[in-house]
Amino acid sequence: MPWRSDELRERSYTHDRSDGLRAMMRRAVKQAIVLLALGVVALARTAGAQVLDSRTLLAAHLEDNRDVDWFAARVPIFESADSAIDATYYYRWELVTKHLTYGSPETGYTFTEFLDRPFWSGAYGSISCPLGHQFDEIRWLNDPAIVADFARYWFETPGARPRSYSNWYGAAMWGLYQVSRDSALLHRVLPYMKRQYAGWVAEHWDATHRMFHWDGLHDGMERNINSRQTDDIDTGADGFRPTLNSYMYADARAIARASALFGDRATATDFDARADSLRARVEDELWDERRTFFLHQAAHDDTTGVRALTRTYETGKYAGNAHGRELIGYVPWQFDLPEEGKGYERAWRFLMDTAYFLAPYGPTTTERHDPQFYISPRCCWWSGNSWPYATTQALDAMANLVNDYRQRVVSAADWMRLFGIYTRTQRKVGQPYIAEAANPDNGSWEGHDTPGHSNHYFHSAYVNLVITGVVGLRPRADDSLVVNPLAPRDWPFFALDNVRYHGRRLTILWDRTGERYHRGRGLAILADGRVIARAPRLERLAVRLEARPALAPSPRLVNYAVNNSKSTYPLVEVSYAPLRTAAGVLDDGNYWYSIAPPNRWTTIGSPNEHDTVTIRFDTARSIERIVLYPLDDSAASPVHAPADYAIETWDGGRWTVAPNETRVPRRPAGHRANIVSFPPVAASAVRVILVPVPGSSLGLSEVEVWGRPRARARRDTTSGHSSYRR
């Protein structure tokens, strides 16, 4: 039937976009932020309710993705006495959504590393190098479907490439379990953990030397001080590195623990023995007692004079040099590999020393006075620049050292100092931001900040450091809860609320006077709204917390609109497509709202009274939800959220308005998901009719069409077996 323009116009809402109204709104937002700073936050006083006002905090901090509903339902809410940490915390959750990618109806969600999908990435743009950091972040996301999809992606998606770079997939899966206690997911991925380990053995195990070897480029750090001593500065210097060997130690330990959990004692014993052996080899071969550090060891002789089985600068051009320390020497502590009491902790005295690694925007990737120390003006040289990937590893490792080892080399105050530097580094023009690498002396991202590529780079972690470090929630696989905050003792307050852990909802708060949160003075832990532990000061708390069984998964919907394979269907058609706007972004599984880098289709220049987006399928689909991601730029831009929209479905003979629909939000809103739900209907096409605000253009970042699929077997491409899914 023809579209009824008069009817839709009658349902449209008046949008006053005058400068006066916008000025008033800006003042209101600023007033809200001031109130937050003063601590005048609306606190829930009823038993069992959240301590923090999540919606107020989110509204004050979210910039590009302002979907308060989405974040309030899925992320832990945090505030502290340090506004820079707070701002970065919420920025990093926004960053996660920029990289959240719906690959296909068969594979579900994954995450990218770059905003684009470079040729060296796997299916849908994912890259294995940062997967460990990415899992550390999203294990705190209260959306089990997204987390499980990403866990399965690496072995259930053709082209996923799980070993294109060194990583700790197995340890990451155990880390997921430590937070969720989801034994069903762990059981599902345990065969993949074993397969990943077997792949590393087949590809990179030296049976004679009994260690794993690879080059620095495949650690993500090409042009390091070892490869630069060879004729191939990118892929040269194949060797036994502290990185890959620590990852394999952690993966073996994870397989052993998971196997024991499911009663497979033989496998647990086998992999514990592998881990023990590898630990001994790392300590024996990579530790240099003269320099008191873990170093790279060459796997082969090189024409430049570097000899096999010698550590950095023991042979070659710089033989005998007293330096050669790289930040990767701290990676063994990321997984508690070094044994306590053997003196390995001495390595940490270099980290907080400006003569070695400490820098205003550091730490540096190589110690300051190394003969090859080099701060590169462009990507990618890992011989001096500040690299968030390695900084995250150092902070993870240092938190383990403070929590798990008896030592006096570094303290919680040292950790917070380095974490503060890491926070300060994540800025650009005064706003939270991260790219590939920074100048450690001035914090500039220049030369490592390729537009449309490495903006908001998801190659490191931050949220996990706030939760496990600042707040001190130390995930465990047993029925205990351990909290050991590293936050400064002079902080008057902090709170982490709505944390999903072992099937419970946790709140961890510090209130020196008791006047901010009205839950008493000191440190408190609440589970499901009930106080379960207290301390008068910031100190380690341990309490029994019996896990609740994971809820049975609800039936999953799939997004039929996505088309990352660029096949004929689904087909996106738009009523207006100027040369500078690409309709192809509407079905790529990604959404964000910034003007640059763009991920948008707009109607700038359209002569139409209204514009349409039509999505056609190859067959009739049962659909029940449409999600739109409207743009809404600044007042100076012509692009604003639509005044109204209508959803129609094609039943093979005519267009029909979606029946009994409900909308969230009720009025069109930009920078967030606009969700339209209705009873399931069979449709071979969907049409979205968009009406602009008078005098404005409109645009979308993504359109999703969700429906319930028929049950089907899905082939596990790595094993040749079929598995039931969805």
To the question of pTM greater than 0.85 for the whole model, the response is yes
Amino acid at 68: V
CATH number of the domain encompassing residue 624: 2.60.120.260
Q: Give the amino acid at 538.
A: L
587 and 533 belong to one structural domain: no
Residues 224, 227, 231, 237: what is their CA dihedral angle, to the nearest 10 degrees?
Answer: -170
Residue ending a domain, choose from 516, 544, 572: 544
Read off the pLDDT of residues 682-709 as tens digits, 9 standing for 90 and up: 999 999 999 999 999 999 999 999 999 9
pLDDT score at 555: 81
SS3 state of residue 385:
coil
Which pLDDT does position 652 carry in this prediction? 86
703 shares its domain with 621: yes
Residue 200 in domain: no
Do 562 and 538 lie in one domain? The reply is: no
Q: 537 and 631 in one domain?
A: no
DSSP structural state of residue 467: I
| Same-domain check for residues 598 and 694 | yes
> Considering the domain boundaries, does residue 604 fall inside one?
yes
Counting as low any pLDDT under 50, the low residues of the chain are 1-47, 713-726
User: 586 lies in a domain?
Assistant: yes
- Whether 44 maps to a domain, the answer reads yes
Residue keyed to tokens 């600042």: 470
Is 589 in contact with 221 (CB distance < 8 Å)? no
Domain that holds residue 56: 19-99+472-544
Q: Which two tokens stand for residue 129?
A: 């190098």
How many domains in the chain?
2
Radius of gyration in angstroms for the set of CA atoms belonging to the chain, rounded to a whole number? 27
- The predicted pLDDT at position 582 comes to 75
Tell me what pLDDT residue 48 has: 52
DSSP bridge pairs for 682: 622
Distance of alpha carbon 528 from alpha carbon 545, whole angstroms? 11
Report pLDDT for 725: 36
pLDDT at 525: 98
Q: How far apart are CA 628 and CA 643, in angstroms?
A: 14
Tokens of 410: 């570094």
Which residue in the block uniquely carries the two structure tokens 């999953």?
556
Separation CA 650–CA 360 (nearest Å): 60
Q: Are residues 565 and 618 in the same domain?
A: yes
Please report, in angstroms and rounded to a whole number, the separation of the first and last CA atoms in the chain: 35
**Is 635 found in the same domain as 689?**
yes
Task: Give the residue among 704, 723, 720, 703 at the shortest CA–CA distance from 712.
Answer: 723
Task: Please report the pLDDT score of residue 25 as a whole number.
Answer: 40
Q: Which pLDDT value is given to residue 24? A: 38
- Same domain (yes/no): 641, 563: yes
Shared domain for 619 and 646, answered yes or no, is yes
Would 238 be classed as within a structural domain?
no
Q: Residue 555: is the preceding peptide bond cis (ω within 30°)? A: no
Domain match, 600 and 699 both: yes
Does 367 map to a domain?
no
Output phi, psi for 619, to 5 deg.
Answer: -155, 170
pLDDT of residue 22: 40
Q: DSSP class of residue 374?
A: B
Residue with tokens 């990737």: 365
**80 domain-assigned:** yes
Whether 374 is in a domain gets the answer: no
One domain for residues 532 and 655: no
Q: Are residues 536 and 598 in the same domain?
A: no
